[in-house]
Amino acid sequence: MVAQYVWFFGWSALLAVMLFFPVSKLVWTLSIRRQERKQSRKLDDAELSGQRQRARFITFFLVVVFALMFNANIFGFPGAK
């Protein structure tokens, strides 16, 4: 039973890590475009850095939840009948 949990959460963690960087870039790009359109100007370096940190924070939770839900849907949650 313990091996099933390790396998499930291990694959979920691997999927989350693989998705983190492309999703982070996507969230950051969409956030930058939205801010530039809203403010009608290009953002400076400090604002870009702040948006990058915000995008990474949001992405972490997004990919972890997605990876867990994906693996639960495809393989089933371990211990569930």
Q: Is residue 43 part of a domain?
A: yes
| pLDDT per position as a tens digit, 15-61 | 999 999 999 999 999 999 999 999 999 999 999 999 999 999 999 99
pTM: 0.86
Angle 45-75/2-39 helices, nearest 10 degrees?
140
CA distances from 29 to 9, 36, 51, 58, 79 (A): 29, 11, 9, 13, 39
- Which structural domain range is residue 11 located in? 2-75
Q: Is residue 81 part of a domain?
A: no
Q: Is residue 80 part of a domain?
A: no
Report how many domains make up the chain.
1
Contact 54, 43 (CB under 8 A): no
